[in-house]
Amino acid sequence: MQKQNKLATFEEAVLPHLDAAYNLAHWLTRNDTDAEDVVQEAYLRAFKFFGGFHGTDGRSWLLTIVRNTCYTWMQQNRSPELHVPLDDEVREIESKDLNPETLLMQSADTQMVRQALAELPVEFREVLVLRELEEMSYREIANITDLALGTVMSRLARGRKRLQQALTNHRHAEVLS
């Protein structure tokens, strides 16, 4: 009976965050199949160590496990990607009448932003995904990534700047071609 209770509590605390877990894994691995594998492994780890969860924030707890599982997976499968040196808004188009041309332009803009985000080094990509797509606070991101709050803020600023530069470069390339 206690095993069923543990499973029910686990499902209640963690399963609602499956989409967020997959989203983070997908952006870090940049591959659907790899993200599914990572999320599956993360859920197995989460269940195994569920005794250490004290009911505070299931989402942050799970995303921490997903992030760590992703990094372990990437170290085993893509080691050079994790050693990118550190150097240095998505704009929504609002329209009341969405004609095919507007829809096509929105789709192209969305694809361009997704591509630019996917090309960022993983340390910038992860904080941007957690902040902008998962709407996590700076403190939650710091806890998930095990970084100082100032480092999170710095990476967000640098990541946004790199994303903006990539989008600007892409726009200039479109104009010139």
Question: In terms of Cα–Cα distance, which of 46, 43, 123 is closest to 83?
Answer: 123
Instruction: Find the domain containing 7 and state its range.
Output: 2-176
Domains: count for the chain: 1
Q: Read off the DSSP letter of residue 69.
A: H
The per-residue pLDDT for range 154-175, each reduced to its tens digit, is 999 999 999 899 888 877 777 7
What is the value of pTM for the model shown?
0.71
Whether residue 101 is predicted with pLDDT greater than 60 in this model: the reply is no
Q: For residues 163 and 70, what is the distance between their CA atoms, to the nearest angstrom?
A: 22
Residue 54 burial (C-beta neighbours within 10 Å; 0-12, 13-18, 19+): exposed
**Which comes out higher in pLDDT, residue 38 or 54?**
38
pLDDT for the residue 167: 85
What is the average pLDDT value for the chain, to the nearest integer?
A: 83
3-class SS shares of the chain: helix, strand, coil, % to 5: 80, 0, 20
Residue 88 banded pLDDT, cuts 50, 70, 90: very low
- Burial class from Cβ neighbours inside 10 Å (0-12, 13-18, 19+) for residue 21 reads buried
Least confident of 8-17, 84-93, 111-120: 84-93
What pLDDT is attached to residue 105? 60
Residue whose token pair is 């599982």:
69
> What CATH number should be reported for the domain holding residue 32?
1.20.140.160
CA dist 48 and 135 (Å) reads 27
**Of the candidates 71, 73, 169, which has an alpha carbon nearest to the alpha carbon of residue 125?**
71
Residue % of the chain over a pLDDT of 90: 50
